[in-house]
Amino acid sequence: MYEPYVSVSEYEGIIDDGSIKRRLIQSSRHIDSLTFNRIVGRFDELTDFQREIIKEVCSSLTDWEYENEDFLKSVIDSYSINGVSVKYGGVNFDLINGVAVPPDLYNTLKQTGLCCRVLGAGI
């Protein structure tokens, strides 16, 4: 069974409902995508610094995805009818490997060296 990079007992964030484990797993899977699956099954082999950063990003990403859930699930980001256009905005994020992530969190995750596109980087 897949275990998130932050356990429910370690998580200190804004979510207090029963969905926290599912949300932590989702954020951990997104981190796997952002790090090209370099840490799947190898989390304990990482340095203390890398593990600390990954846990920090996992918790923060979980909170960010929770706060912006409606926006992230929306398939429409803009439309226009008869010359009137509407565009949804206000959420600052980058789309990397199909994952919406705030730039500051992605920059923090890049400090681990695991987001480099070069084969074998970071470990």
78 pairs with which residues across the strands? 87
Q: Give the up-direction half-sphere exposure of residue 40: CA atoms within 13 A in the CB hemisphere.
A: 12
Rounded to an integer, what distance in angstroms lies between the CA atom of residue 58 and that of residue 5? 7
100 pairs with which residues across the strands? 95
For the record, the structure tokens of 1 come out as 């069974």
Average pLDDT of adjacent 10-residue blocks, the chain of 123 residues: 95 93 98 96 96 98 94 68 62 86 96 85 55
Query: What pLDDT does residue 76 have?
Result: 59
Query: What pLDDT does residue 118 have?
Result: 77
| All structural domains of the chain with their residue ranges | 20-110
**What SS3 class is residue 53?**
helix
Query: What pLDDT does residue 72 have?
Result: 81
Residue burial 85-121, b: 16+ Cβ < 10 Å; e: rest: eeeeeeeebeeeeebbbbeebbebbbebbbbeeeeee
